[in-house]
Amino acid sequence: MSTNPSYTGARPELLELMREPWERALDVGCAEGAVGAALKDSNPRGEVTGIELDAAMAATARTRLDDVLEVDAQTALDDLAATGRTFELVCCGDVLEHLVDPWSALRSIRRLCPRGRVVVSLPNVGHWTTLWSVAVLGVWPYRDRGIHDRTHLRFFARNNLADLFARSGFALREVRRVHRLFETPGKLSRVLGRWLGWLPLLGRFTTYQFLCVAEPREPFE
For residue 50, report the phi and psi dihedrals to the nearest 5 degrees. -115, 155
Q: Is CATH 3.20.20.80 what the domain over 11-216 is classified as, yes or no?
A: no
Looking at residue 203, its pLDDT comes to: 74
pTM for the model: 0.89
**pLDDT tens digits for 5-44?**
455 577 899 999 998 789 999 999 999 999 999 999 999 9
Q: How far apart are the first and last CA of the chain?
A: 28
**pLDDT tens digits for 167-210?**
999 999 999 999 888 776 656 555 565 656 566 677 788 899 99
**pLDDT tens digits for 93-128?**
999 999 999 999 999 999 999 999 999 999 999 999
- The answer to whether 65 and 33 are in contact (CB under 8 A) is yes
CA distances from 55 to 29, 42, 69, 70 (A): 12, 27, 10, 7
What angle separates helix 73-83 from helix 102-112, to the nearest 10 degrees? 30
- Locate the domains of the chain by residue range: 11-216
Residue type, 101: D
